[in-house]
A = this chain, B = another copy of it.
Amino acid sequence: MSAISTDRIADSIYDRLREEIFAGDLAPGARLSVPALAERLAVSRSPVREAVFRLVQDRLASEEPRRGAVVAKIGARELAAIYDVREVLEGLAARLAVENSGRRLVTALHDVLAEHERAVRDGDVAAVTEADMRFHALIRQASGNPEVGRLLDAVQTQVRLAMRTTRVTAGPRQAIDDHRAILTAIESGDPAAAELAARAHIFRLRSALLRQAEGE
């Protein structure tokens, strides 16, 4: 019953570096020198090497020839490509959720949507983000397809990284309207409609993103 043993140094270093990247403490372009990190974190090079390796595989860092890994930059172009993928994956998740799931999902989504609306009214930015992510997470868990969940996690990792450079805000009202449309489609029990609604939502996010990148 115990959780995964997190007493692995390599894991905790991976988590820590990840958070430092998302928090901006490690800006895109910053070098991830294994010896330097090992000294800063007061551990040997082995677990650091493993952690950096995982960051590269997650595309949070990229290998530069003989200069070590650096925190990855991600431009609007790459992000748009990722959103193409996200569009079809979120659509798939919504379709599968309708096919596999029941009333429980609908009520949970209603709750999150209500919280989302409250957060927007109150101007609580953190809560808005939280509710937004929860909405998608619920659907993806309900899909019953772990592969979709894993891939969407990877997509979200890239999106979070992109927020370090690109400012990507879809109008908050638009997001709520989209979510409500998705929920309505799920409630109606129509898998194809749910897929379309989810895809339309992500497609609009992608458009907003590109428009914003254009205006720079």
A residues sitting closer than 8 Å to B (CB atoms) are: 50, 53, 57, 78, 81-82, 84-85, 87-89, 91-92, 96, 145-148, 151
Contacts and interface: CB of A to CB of B under 8 A. Distances in A.
A76 to B, nearest CB: 14
Nearest 4 Cβ contacts at the A-B interface: A88-B88, A81-B145, A88-B92, A81-B147
Contacts of A148: 81, 84-85
A151 B92 CA distance: 15
Contacts of A78: 147
Copies of this chain: 2
A205 to B, nearest CB: 16
A214 to B, nearest CB: 18
A49 to B, nearest CB: 9
A86 B84 CA distance: 14
Contacts of A84: 92, 96, 145, 147-148
A206 to B, nearest CB: 12
Main secondary structure of the interface of A (DSSP, over half): helix
A147 B152 CA distance: 12
Nearest to A50: B53
A178 to B, nearest CB: 19
A50 B52 CA distance: 13
A47 to B, nearest CB: 12
Given A57-B57, A87-B92, A88-B92, 9 more contacts: A53-B53, A81-B145, A81-B146, A84-B145, A84-B147, A85-B145, A85-B147, A88-B91, A151-B151
A151 B150 CA distance: 11
Of A81, A88, A146, most buried by chain B (CB within 10 Å of CB) is A88
Contacts of A57: 57
17 contacts: A50-B53, A53-B53, A57-B57, A81-B145, A81-B146, A82-B147, A84-B96, A84-B145, A85-B89, A85-B92, A85-B148, A85-B151, A87-B92, A88-B89, A88-B91, A88-B92, A151-B151
A88 B148 CA distance: 11
A50 to B, nearest CB: 8
